Amino acid sequence: MLFSTLATGLFYGLYCLTLRRDRWLQLNIWYLLVAIGFSMVFPSLKLPNGLEQASQSVASVEEYLVTMNEVEISAITAPRTLGVMVDLYLVGVALCAAYLLFQLAAQVVIVIKLRRKHKVYRASDGFGIPRGAALVLLDDDTAPYSFFNHIVVGTRGLNDDEVRCILAHESLHVRQGHSVDLLFARLLCCLAWFNPFAWLIMREIRAVHEFLADAASIGACGREGYLHLLYRQATGTGYGHITNNFKSINLKKRIVMMNKSKTRFGAWKVLAALPVAALLMMVGCKQGAPENTVAEEEAAVVNEATVEPIIFTNDSMPEGLVAPEFPDGAEALYKYIAENIHYPDQAKADGIEGRVLIRFVVMNDGSVANIEVAKGIGGGCDEEAVRVVKGMPKWKPAIYEGKAVNVQYCIPINFKLQ
């Protein structure tokens, strides 16, 4: 989450410094959409496991505790606060998604009611709207807006030229699919509800949409007529709105943008995002390194310790008995258990921790048999330890007087909550 927020902030800051004041508007839209999408997907590209698997991976063995004459392999979970944070994140996503669905459903209901009560005009009716669009004209002061392929305009207080100007504005929204852009950005904001830069980027996308529509309106009714309409909106005289969510606080930006022209090399500014993306990828690769570093450090601890396996026989261990050995040695045994054992959900929920002692026989052919729990703690920990031992590959059998023999072996596994 933190890394995604940082990435979004970097791309947003870069946009403000380079493209925000340039009239390469279509390029700005693509930059903003790709930036917010990349920032959301990027963490999953650098991490092999997603959020769900990350919450499960904390149950795997992450530490090896080695003592002189026995081997303890501890299955340690991450702090419980991680689960609380994940739950909080999911609640936030659910609330944002529910509110978005409510807004969409409410708008759909409004459009359906308008279609039933008023005449619906099409492109063939001569209003200059895009093919496939539906226009509803109202005899009131409803603020004009577009919703996917529907355009709604309240005509009270407007003359024919002003209506034509507004239709050019809203038609551009429909023709370029701006509702789809906003829905995509809004969905990403639901996933990143905690990220303020995601919401800022969505606001910038909405602003660029208005800049594009302003250009279409100027082409339809002229700069002077359109600026007069904007002036009426800003001063509150006559008709109050030209588009939904149009606020006078954005009027200055829109007028400034209308008077700008494309810079000659403005499009090349987007290339500044490439080093930022490359830097994020490099940092992401370095973030993956600590896992290997921890494993190497743990392996070094094992190598430095004097490890004697716990071996049980019916009588005292005979002199000259060569103990059985896991393939590639004790270090490989620790890594095998570390990669395969998981902390049971029931044990985590019940707060169960302790040592499970697994006893088994390494047969003279290297197979593992007679697996039993010499000491258990419940909560699914016993069964998990047995499962891991059952899946072991064949050992090097014990040797006594030149022959392979059956020998009992015992491994203690610690389950510990943090």
pLDDT tens-digit series, residues 128-160? 899 999 999 999 888 888 999 999 998 888 888
Burial of 407 (0-12, 13-18, 19+ CB in 10 A): buried
Query: What span, in angstroms and rounded, lies between the C-alpha atoms of 167 and 128?
Result: 8
For 134-143, 242-251, 258-267, 355-364, which range has the lowest pLDDT when averaged over its residues?
242-251
pLDDT band at 187 (very low <50, low <70, confident <90, very high): very high
Q: What is the pLDDT of residue 42?
A: 65
Task: Identify whether the C-beta of residue 147 lies closer than 8 Å to the C-beta of residue 173.
Answer: no
Provide, for the chain, the percentages of residues in helix, strand and coil under a 3-state DSSP scheme, each rounded to the nearest 5.
Answer: 55, 15, 30
E strands within 57-149?
Answer: 61-66, 71-76, 120-121, 134-138, 145-147
Burial of 71 (0-12, 13-18, 19+ CB in 10 A): buried
| pLDDT over 50 (residue 288) | no
Question: Residue type for 168, please?
Answer: A
pLDDT band at 278 (very low <50, low <70, confident <90, very high): low
Residue 208: CB partners within 8 Å, gap ≥ 6?
Answer: 25, 28, 29, 32
Task: Identify whether the C-beta of residue 266 lies closer than 8 Å to the C-beta of residue 24.
Answer: yes
Query: What span, in angstroms and rounded, lies between the C-alpha atoms of 405 and 9?
Result: 65
Task: Identify whether the C-beta of residue 145 lies closer than 8 Å to the C-beta of residue 110.
Answer: no
| pLDDT over 60 (residue 104) | yes
| pLDDT over 50 (residue 238) | no
Task: Identify whether the C-beta of residue 407 lies closer than 8 Å to the C-beta of residue 362.
Answer: yes
The radius of gyration computed from the CA coordinates of the chain, to the nearest angstrom, equals 33
pLDDT band at 283 (very low <50, low <70, confident <90, very high): low
Instruction: Tell me the average pLDDT across 95-99.
Output: 95
Cα 404 off chain centre by = 54
Residue 305: CB partners within 8 Å, gap ≥ 6?
Answer: 66, 67, 68
Cα 94 off chain centre by = 14
Q: What is the pLDDT of residue 353?
A: 85
Q: Express as a percent the part of the chain with pLDDT over 90.
A: 25
Q: Which two tokens stand for residue 418?
A: 């943090």
Query: What span, in angstroms and rounded, lies between the C-alpha atoms of 314 and 308?
Result: 19
Q: Which two tokens stand for residue 232?
A: 């009426």
Do strands 145-147 and 150-154 pair parallel, antiparallel, or not at all (unpaired)? antiparallel
Place of tokens 């998981």: 342
Query: What span, in angstroms and rounded, lies between the C-alpha atoms of 6 and 280?
Result: 10
Domains, the chain, with CATH or none: 2-46+79-109+162-284 (no CATH), 309-416 (3.30.2420.10)
pLDDT band at 3 (very low <50, low <70, confident <90, very high): confident
pLDDT band at 294 (very low <50, low <70, confident <90, very high): very low
pLDDT band at 296 (very low <50, low <70, confident <90, very high): very low
Q: Provide the whole-model pTM.
A: 0.56
